[in-house]
Amino acid sequence: MIDFHGYGPRLLAGAWLTTELALLSLLVAVVLGLLAASARLSRLRSVAALSATYTTLIRGVPDLVLLMLLFYGGQIGVNMITDRLYNAFDIDIFINIDAFIAGVATLGVIYGAYMAETFRGAFMAVDEGQMEAARAYGMSPWLVFSRIRFPLMMRHALPGLGNNWLVMLKSTALVSIIGLTDMVRVAEKATKATHEPFLFMLPVAVGYLLMTAVSELAMLWLRRRYDTGFK
Amino acid sequence: MEEWFAHIAPWLTGNEIFTPATLARYWDGLVNTVQLVFISLIIGLGMAVPLAILRGSPRAWVRAPVWLYTYVFRGTPLLIQLYLAYYGFAFVPGVQETWLWFFIEEPFYPALFAFTLNTAAYTTEIFHGAIRATPRGQIEAARAYGMSTALAYRRIVLPSAFRRALPAYGNEVIFMLHASAIASTVTIMDLTGTAYYVYARFYTPFPAFIFVALVYMALTFMILAAFRLLEKRLLRHLQTAA
């Protein structure tokens, strides 16, 4: 058995944190991506422009810079707002930004922009006649979206979505820089303490490869599911 | 540089953060980032062309190692690769006495090493896809002209594959620029490292990081514009007549 100098359980805890962080960020990113893609295709010019600005700005800046901006700036920004509230209305609240929530929010906001581009293309690829038929059946807008538009769109979005997910999964490693103890941070600390980089970094790399392999299986299943009725 | 500072100095008076000294630091950061990204992209590109050809080899024992290399480097975070390069070399016992220490001591070289291997893996896959997309008929026509495999690659397959790979390679260049931000974690004073320094020194996250975000954005748009220009020139045959 490999001797992790007692870092084994912490590495596992770090791997669990990475998994949680990635899955929750994916949820935020997909929801934001759907909203932004719908906004981009809106007939209202201002709404479409707002969405275009969001996706362009986010995709022009490194995720680490955005992560640092939102993480270090977020607390100061929140403090400024609570100070104003205290001075103006005598409302005394203190909000401490949790590193995990900040990480999920930031990764979600960043990858929401990439998801938006994927979903936009996919929405445009759906045959308009399908939605007309659904409306002719008297379906409400929500029903049209959930039963017709979304499932048909997902078929086109899946390859891009899978790609974004894999990039995001690897980007979760960045949260180790802003202080979250994911598996990369545990490995880095252990490396500094024991001077054995390969002993800790290689298992973490294998961990990411495992997660990638599992994701590929999940994607295969999803693709088969959304291909129902085609081919 | 001196003249440039003299020119904008009046505009900066009264600003406590963006003093000429801070701006000079940002400039050094820009130089470091551009050097790191540019050199790794050039070496990575040079590695990727032969690797992409090997990756499509009909012999499995040639193909498999290249596949494994790209799979591992594309499947793990660049940060891990950077840490492995940075700590991996430095902690080898006795390395400080060898001539290699000259390169390892400076974090720039391990970072360059990791970035180069990473971009070479991604670029290999991009070229491999482009080579595979070569229309059968073109290869058959080259064969019919009596070209050897090497000549057909040099004259027919590679030139058209490079053109097809151009849009995807443009994305890879932008990806590398953004990924290079993590160089700051191994004490390299790149753009992000400078922004962190300014943040820590003045405790002002917004000016420090928003300024650097704008610099990255400007670089991104410059790369985009350059590739659009290249595509316009090299992919002219694919455009529909106006």
pLDDT digits (tens, 9 = 90+) for B4-43: 767 766 666 666 777 778 888 889 999 999 999 999 999 9
Q: Is B228's pLDDT higher than 80?
A: yes
| Euclidean distance between CA atoms B117 and B82, whole angstroms | 10
| Euclidean distance between CA atoms B60 and A98, whole angstroms | 50
Across chain B, mean pLDDT equals: 87
The backbone torsions φ and ψ at residue A229, rounded to the nearest 5 degrees and listed phi first, read: 90, -10
Do residues A176 and A15 lie in contact, with contact meaning Cβ atoms separated by under 8 Å?
A: no
User: Where are the alpha helices (H) located in B76-157, listed in sequence order?
Assistant: 78-90, 101-105, 108-132, 136-144, 149-152
Whether residue B91 and residue A195 make contact (CB cut-off 8 A), yes or no, is yes
Q: Is A19's pLDDT higher than 80?
A: yes
pLDDT value at position B12? 62
Whether residue A198 and residue B78 make contact (CB cut-off 8 A), yes or no, is no
Nearest CA in chain B to A190: B87
When pLDDT is averaged across residues B81-86 and rounded to a whole number, the result is 91
Q: Measured in whole angstroms, how far is the alpha carbon of residue B149 from the centre of its chain?
A: 30
Do residues A158 and A226 lie in contact, with contact meaning Cβ atoms separated by under 8 Å?
A: yes
Whether residue B77 and residue A66 make contact (CB cut-off 8 A), yes or no, is no
Q: How many CB atoms lie within 10 A of CB A30?
A: 20
Find the distance separating the first CA and the last CA of chain B, reported in whole Å.
Answer: 45
Query: Could you tell me the pLDDT band of residue B207, with boundaries at 50, 70 and 90?
Result: confident
Find the distance separating the first CA and the last CA of chain A, reported in whole Å.
Answer: 49
User: What letter would DSSP give residue B203?
Assistant: T
| Euclidean distance between CA atoms A187 and A184, whole angstroms | 5
Instruction: Please tell me the distance in Å from B156's CA to the nearest CA on chain A.
Output: 30
- Show residues of chain B in contact with A162, CB under 8 Å: none
- Show residues of chain B in contact with A65, CB under 8 Å: 181, 192, 195, 209, 212-213, 216
pLDDT value at position B173? 95
- CB of A174 within 8 Å of any CB in chain B? yes
Instruction: Supply the CATH classification number for the domain A23-180.
Output: 1.10.3720.10
Q: For residue B42, what are its two tokens?
A: 């050039």
- Show residues of chain A in contact with B217, CB under 8 Å: 57, 60-61
Nearest CA in chain B to A216: B75
The beta-carbon neighbor of B213 closest among A61, A174, A201 is A61
Whether residue A208 and residue B206 make contact (CB cut-off 8 A), yes or no, is no
Whether residue A69 and residue B192 make contact (CB cut-off 8 A), yes or no, is no
Task: Pick the more confident residue, A228 or A206.
Answer: A206
The radius of gyration of chain B's CA atoms, rounded to the nearest angstrom, is: 22
Query: Could you tell me the pLDDT band of residue A183, with boundaries at 50, 70 and 90?
Result: confident
Domain ranges of chain B: 26-235
Q: Is B183's pLDDT higher than 70?
A: yes
Query: Could you tell me the pLDDT band of residue B222, with boundaries at 50, 70 and 90?
Result: very high
When pLDDT is averaged across residues B163-171 and rounded to a whole number, the result is 90
Do residues A85 and A93 lie in contact, with contact meaning Cβ atoms separated by under 8 Å?
A: yes
The CATH class given to the B26-235 domain equals: mainly alpha
Whether residue B72 and residue A188 make contact (CB cut-off 8 A), yes or no, is no
pLDDT value at position B5? 67
Taking only residues 30 to 89 of chain A, the set having a beta carbon closer than 8 angstroms to any beta carbon of chain B reads 57, 59-66, 68-69, 72-73, 76-77
- CB of A196 within 8 Å of any CB in chain B? yes
Q: For residue A59, what are its two tokens?
A: 């995709």
Distances (CA, A) of B39 to A196, B32, B72, B116, B212: 29, 11, 22, 8, 21
Nearest CA in chain B to A175: B79
| Euclidean distance between CA atoms A122 and A149, whole angstroms | 10
pLDDT digits (tens, 9 = 90+) for A60-106: 999 899 988 888 888 788 888 888 888 888 777 777 778 888 889 88
Task: Report the candidate in A53, A156, A168 with the shortest Cα–Cα distance to residue A104.
Answer: A168
Chain B interface disruption, residue of A69, A166, A167, most B CBs within 10 A: A69
| Euclidean distance between CA atoms B178 and A63, whole angstroms | 7
Q: Is B122's pLDDT higher than 90?
A: yes
Instruction: Please tell me the distance in Å from A209's CA to the nearest CA on chain B.
Output: 6
Query: Could you tell me the pLDDT band of residue A9, with boundaries at 50, 70 and 90?
Result: confident
- Show residues of chain B in contact with A60, CB under 8 Å: 213, 216-217, 220-221
Query: Residue type at B54?
Result: L
pLDDT value at position B241? 58
Task: Report the candidate in A3, A2, A63, A8 with the shortest Cα–Cα distance to residue A186.
Answer: A8
Task: Report the candidate in B65, B35, B40 with the shortest Cα–Cα distance to residue B51.
Answer: B65
| Range with top average pLDDT, A99-113, A185-199, B110-124, B191-205 | B110-124
When pLDDT is averaged across residues A159-181 and rounded to a whole number, the result is 89
Across chain A, mean pLDDT equals: 87
Task: Report the candidate in B179, B56, B53, B163 with the shortest Cα–Cα distance to residue B117.
Answer: B179
pLDDT value at position A231? 64
pTM beyond 0.90: no
Do residues A189 and A204 lie in contact, with contact meaning Cβ atoms separated by under 8 Å?
A: no
Q: For residue A97, what are its two tokens?
A: 């930004």
- CB of A198 within 8 Å of any CB in chain B? yes
Query: Could you tell me the pLDDT band of residue A211, with boundaries at 50, 70 and 90?
Result: very high
Whether residue A65 and residue B181 make contact (CB cut-off 8 A), yes or no, is yes
Whether residue B80 and residue A205 make contact (CB cut-off 8 A), yes or no, is yes
Q: Which residues of B touch A (CB under 8 A)?
A: 71-72, 75-80, 83-84, 87-88, 91, 177-182, 184-185, 192, 195-196, 199, 205-206, 209-210, 212-213, 216-217, 220-221
Q: Is B242's pLDDT higher than 70?
A: no
pLDDT value at position A96? 75
Do residues B85 and B104 lie in contact, with contact meaning Cβ atoms separated by under 8 Å?
A: no
| Euclidean distance between CA atoms A93 and A81, whole angstroms | 10
pLDDT value at position A71? 83
- CB of A165 within 8 Å of any CB in chain B? no
Instruction: Please tell me the distance in Å from B133's CA to the nearest CA on chain A.
Output: 18
HEC readout, chain A: CCCCCCCHHHHHHHHHHHHHHHHHHHHHHHHHHHHHHHHHCCCCHHHHHHHHHHHHHHHCCCHHHHHHHHHHHHHHHHHHHHHHHHHHHCCCCCCCCCHHHHHHHHHHHHHHHHHHHHHHHHHHHCCHHHHHHHHHCCCCHHHHHHHHHHHHHHHHHHHHHHHHHHHHHHHHHHHHCCCCCCHHHHHHHHHHHHCCHHHHHHHHHHHHHHHHHHHHHHHHHHHHHHCCCCC
Share of chain A above pLDDT 90, in %: 38
ipTM confidence score: 0.86
Domain ranges of chain A: 23-180
Task: Pick the more confident residue, A189 or B223.
Answer: B223
